[in-house]
Amino acid sequence: MPPPAQNHPDDVARAPLRPTTRRRADIEGLRAVAALLIAVYHIWFGTVSGGVDVFLVLTGFLITGSLVRAMERDGRIAFGAFWSKLVKRLFPAGAVVLAAVLVCAHLFVPRSRWTEIIGDVQASALYYGNWHLALGSVDYMAENSAASPVQHFWSLAVQGQFYLLWPVLLTGAGLLALRLGRSVRAAALIAVTVVLAASFGYSLWITATEPVWAYFDTGARLWELALGGVLALVVHRVRLPRWMRLVAGWTGLVALIVCGLVIGDSLPYPGYASLWPTLSALLLIIAGSGGENARLSANRLLGLRPLTWLGGHAYTLFLWHWPILVFYLEITELERPSLAGGLLILGVSFAAAFATGRIVDGGVTRVTRVRTAPSWSLAAGVLFVVPVLVAGLLWEQSIERDRQLRMELSSDPLAYPGAAVHLSPDLAANLPSLPVYPDTSTALRDTVDQTRECNALIDETEMRSCVFGDPDSEYTVVLTGSSHARHWFQALRTVAERHGWRLVVMTKNACQFSSEVQTYRGEPYAECTAWNERVMEELTRTRPDAVFALGTLSQRGDGGEEYVPDGFVERWHQLDELGTDVVAVRDTPRFGFNVAECVDRNGTEGCAEDRDYSMAERSPFEELSEEGVPDNTRFLDMTDYLCDETVCHGVIGNQLVYYDTNHFSYAFSQSLAVVMEPYLLKALPHAPVNEDTLVSSAGSLLSTALSSEAAPDLTPVRVDPTGG
């Protein structure tokens, strides 16, 4: 992330200092090159460029030098002046871009992504966007999310946190040095070097163990800023011959330009891979620090007026290029821009960056030139951010009001029957045209929140569990497995509560209830293996009456075939030895697109996927030999309530079936209870049944449907290995 446009943080200290504080045009040019690399690699290649790492090094270099010189001169750092100037330079332009993102999101982005984008904008405005993205990136349920238009603000957040930490660190080191009669610069060098070593070691470890988290982690990035800081404190001692500076400069520049081509997305980042761009920046800074640059040097090239001019607008160019790219792809529905499209994105980004620098930053500078107190600079920056935060809050309230309205409408089962629409042809024929429920903008959050406390995340090995229904019941059903088992929760809970069962939920993201070794994103999934062992230990200890889990795995339309994993069958045998019944439910369809986004764009009728895209023509249950399936196992196939003969539907009975590409919304899952109940009761012959609730608890809709002459035959297609 580049430092503020047309401003060096070393403006904090203006008096003549030693070592010299000459303004270096080549650093402005390096800022320009880094911004261009970020934009070019994002637009046409979609890979890491190394430009952000360069900005972090430059920030550490400039800020550390500025603060140490202030400490040497005044014996203290003026915290208020330092932070207020940064707020004045960073906040206005950032707030303008965030406001534009909110407007464009409302105009061009599907409703299903509004809540996510509002949260991203709020986190970016308050400079914790990196942690916000880190938490979201390790959430398996967010893997289908499209790129956020403010995703690039994570580096601003890292830099903002650095701005808070660094003056405190250097003040502490400086005061200790003054008390001991030592050099402030030497004490600062020791403190910054310790941070560099600790952060780099942590970066290597966290990148190897949690690479997605590491990318956004301030601790894993702090060493890059500290590297620039160490360089600022020692660079005046570096005296290289002109030919060595010439070689170092060109080596650094060429290495930086090709960094994205070499590293791309093939290496875990940051870790060792981030040494490439950071050391490239280090070479360029050293090459330009020994006096006049040679005529043919890379640093002389970086100091040319066009590059220094662009370097003055690098911050705003960085801010604008990413949201413009994201909205361009959203509008055109392309995965990557063409050459012409990319040039258009760059052109619009340049224009927006220049206008922002002239109008916004220029206006703030004129105001604060007259009012020089730090409070005016602070107010000038904050006044831009507050309207963005208020707009986000008002928009969230509007979404919540609409959500509540749809919840009220959904209380009428004749208007929003969901899966129960299959119980009555008259109901299907007379279904009113109403907004889909649940609201696409909150469906994911509302669904996941239902069982969040019972679900282990990707990196967790400990088993989590929750109890629903009657906790004192003598009959216990356990729901276990991956998110495709988890999304049957509402249906199963509804049936369990009707009949007074005890329902225990213990699930884990992307982890099947299976004895086989599984993989996640191409790597061995050791956390899943450990979790499975703990689940089996718990089932062995408690010996529940029944376990509800997946019986097949459906595959996306990439040549994969729906099948029954051998590890599933082995688990059924293990449960048979415990005397526990098994209900193995057939896996659900998968779509080649996000259903919620499709509904937002095309309405309820235009979002269907071919049945054979993910489902086998015949249920894989039928391929199993009777001898291979234990007597405790019964099969449940609800596919005909999700699909007709040729296609599977994204909206059924005015309810959103899937909140993403393959997971039920909580409302539709609950509606499945009505059609699933008779199948489930037949599959669990030993379960207690409350006859009074079979009809009455389902309300007038089910009562009408079951009494209709058109009511379907509810006999399961197959509920046990012999077809009975």
| pLDDT tens string 257-307 | 999 998 877 788 999 999 999 999 999 999 988 767 777 899 999 999 999
What DSSP state is assigned to residue 242?
H
Q: What is the pLDDT of residue 104?
A: 97
Residues above pLDDT 90, as percent of the chain: 70
Q: Which residue has the tokens 């990557």?
A: 336
Q: Does residue 5 register a pLDDT over 60?
A: no
pLDDT band at 701 (very low <50, low <70, confident <90, very high): very low
Q: First vs last Cα of the chain: how many Å apart?
A: 65
Q: What is the pLDDT of residue 371?
A: 56
Q: What is the pLDDT of residue 138?
A: 53
What average pLDDT does the segment 587-603 reach?
Answer: 94
Instruction: Measure the CA–CA gap between 473 and 545, rounded to whole angstroms.
Output: 11
Measured in whole angstroms, how far is the alpha carbon of residue 107 from the centre of its chain? Answer: 22
**Pick from 247-251, 355-359, 606-610: least confident:** 355-359
For residue 620, the tally of other CB atoms under 10 A from its CB is: 21
What average pLDDT does the segment 327-344 reach?
Answer: 94
pLDDT band at 646 (very low <50, low <70, confident <90, very high): very high
The CB-side HSE value for 134 (13 A sphere, CA atoms) comes to: 20
Six-digit token pair at 335? 């995965």
The type of residue at 453 is E
The type of residue at 463 is M
What average pLDDT does the segment 473-493 reach?
Answer: 96
**481: region left, alpha or beta (phi > 0 left; psi from -120 to 50 alpha):** left
Q: Which residue has the tokens 């903002």?
A: 160
pLDDT band at 697 (very low <50, low <70, confident <90, very high): very low
pLDDT band at 22 (very low <50, low <70, confident <90, very high): low
What DSSP state is assigned to residue 360?
I
Q: Does residue 583 register a pLDDT over 90?
A: yes
Q: 172: which residues sit within 8 A by CB, 6+ positions away?
A: 191
pLDDT band at 358 (very low <50, low <70, confident <90, very high): confident
What average pLDDT does the segment 174-186 reach?
Answer: 92
Q: What is the pLDDT of residue 192?
A: 97
Q: Does residue 17 register a pLDDT over 90?
A: no
Instruction: Measure the CA–CA gap between 139 and 506, rounded to whole angstroms.
Output: 17
What are the helix (H) ranges across 416-480? 425-429, 443-448
Helix H or strand E encompassing 172: helix 154-180
Q: Does residue 140 register a pLDDT over 60?
A: no
C-alpha torsion sign, points 697, 701, 707, 709: negative
Helix H or strand E encompassing 634: strand 633-636
Q: Does residue 7 register a pLDDT over 90?
A: no
E strand residue ranges, 244-305: none
Q: What is the pLDDT of residue 225?
A: 98
Most confident of 69-73, 621-625, 704-708: 69-73
The model's pTM is 0.84
Instruction: Measure the CA–CA gap between 248 and 264, rounded to whole angstroms.
Output: 24
Q: Does residue 693 register a pLDDT over 90?
A: no
Q: What is the pLDDT of residue 705?
A: 41
Q: What is the pLDDT of residue 11?
A: 35
Domains in the chain: boundaries:
9-394, 437-593+614-638+663-677+690-707
The CB-side HSE value for 225 (13 A sphere, CA atoms) comes to: 26
Q: What is the pLDDT of residue 719?
A: 38
Q: Does residue 409 register a pLDDT over 80?
A: yes
pLDDT band at 399 (very low <50, low <70, confident <90, very high): very high
Q: What is the pLDDT of residue 1?
A: 43
Q: Give pLDDT tens digits for 213-246.
A: 999 999 999 999 999 999 999 998 888 888 899 9
pLDDT band at 121 (very low <50, low <70, confident <90, very high): very high
Q: Give pLDDT tens digits for 417-435.
A: 999 998 888 888 889 999 9
Six-digit token pair at 322? 């990413």
What average pLDDT does the segment 491-517 reach?
Answer: 96
Six-digit token pair at 298? 């890379």
For residue 133, the tally of other CB atoms under 10 A from its CB is: 24
Three-state DSSP state, 215: helix
Six-digit token pair at 547? 């376990």
Instruction: Measure the CA–CA gap between 626 and 613, rounded to whole angstroms.
Output: 28
Does domain 437-593+614-638+663-677+690-707 match CATH 3.10.310? no
Q: Report the greatest alpha carbon distance in the chain.
A: 97
What is the helix, strand, coil percentage profile of the chain, to 5? 60, 5, 30
Six-digit token pair at 254? 């060429």
What average pLDDT does the segment 626-635 reach?
Answer: 89
Q: 434: which residues sit within 8 A by CB, 6+ positions away?
A: 409, 415, 416, 654
Q: What is the mean pLDDT of the chain?
A: 88
Instruction: Measure the CA–CA gap between 65 and 48, rounded to whole angstroms.
Output: 28
What average pLDDT does the segment 323-332 reach?
Answer: 95
Instruction: Measure the CA–CA gap between 591 and 495, rounded to whole angstroms.
Output: 28
